[in-house]
Chain A
Amino acid sequence: EAQVTQNPRYLITVTGKKLTVTCSQNMNHEYMSWYRQDPGLGLRQIYYSMNVEVTDKGDVPEGYKVSRKEKRNFPLILESPSPNQTSLYFCASSLLTGPGGTDTQYFGPGTRLTVL
């Protein structure tokens, strides 16, 4: 089954304790992205990756890191989490169809993070 998976689904942590949220897709998609969802703000892009070893900042990258060592995986790293990073996080992936073409992004199930 084609899917995007995220782990963990729920996480409660404390300020400053490094954490990683994993994201994996089995659709051979080049493009992967992280979004955060906050009440009244919709979803906002944190980071994205066009392919292996190619990553770039989205609209709200502060406090986050990513890596893309393999095509299927795109982990989100919070090196020193703070309470304002409490949010619902989504990973997404899509085919990269080139200039002038955008394919549909498919989302993982979400990770609800609480930073105390």
Chain B
Amino acid sequence: AQKVTQAQTEISVVEKEDVTLDCVYETRDTTYYLFWYKQPPSGELVFLIRRNSFDEQNEISGRYSWNFQKSTSSFNFTITASQVVDSAVYFCALSEAENTDKLIFGTGTRLQVFP
């Protein structure tokens, strides 16, 4: 069965610290997609990244980077030099090609960045 686990419920850091949000997934499909979404205090869901199962290259976008490892079924998200504006709930999600585009979400990690 498909499942996404975000074991870290809440993380607190001080500004400029690096922080890694963990995401572990389960799927039987060979073709699947992994996503990260950000939910700031205002409540909307902001798309951050989409990665397909055949592309294990790590990705960097500014202060954000993602580490995809199929061997450990993980898709971790690192924020370098965190800022107060990074404070949000972050969701990891899985979509299976055989499963009608449904997004299976983890329970989210609340990140608080203090000045």
Contacts and interface: CB of A to CB of B under 8 A. Distances in A.
Interface of A: 31, 33, 35, 40-45, 48, 50, 56, 58-59, 88, 90, 92, 94, 96, 99-110, 112
B101 A104 contact: no
B44 to A, nearest CB: 5
B35 A101 contact: no
Interface stretch (B13-21, B62-70, B75-83, B102-110): B102-110
Contacts of A88: 43
A99 B101 CA distance: 10
Given A42-B106, A100-B31, A102-B33, A33 B43 contact: no
A35 B102 CA distance: 10
A36 B101 CA distance: 16
Give the residue among B33, B96, B97, B100 with the most A Cβ atoms within 10 A: B100
Interface string B29-67: 001010101000001110100100000000000000000
Contacts of B106: 42
Given A48-B101, A105-B103, A107-B44, 12 more contacts: A33-B103, A35-B105, A43-B103, A45-B103, A88-B43, A94-B101, A100-B31, A104-B50, A105-B95, A108-B44, A110-B43, A112-B43
Q: How large is the interface on B (under 10, 10 to 19, 20 to 34, 35 or more residues)?
A: 20 to 34
A75 B93 CA distance: 24
Contacts of B25: none
A102 B2 CA distance: 16
Contact of A31 (B31, B35, B101): B101
B77 to A, nearest CB: 15
B107 to A, nearest CB: 4
Residue in B37, B44, B98, B101 with the greatest tally of chain A CB atoms within 10 Å: B101
A9 to B, nearest CB: 9
A90 B45 CA distance: 9
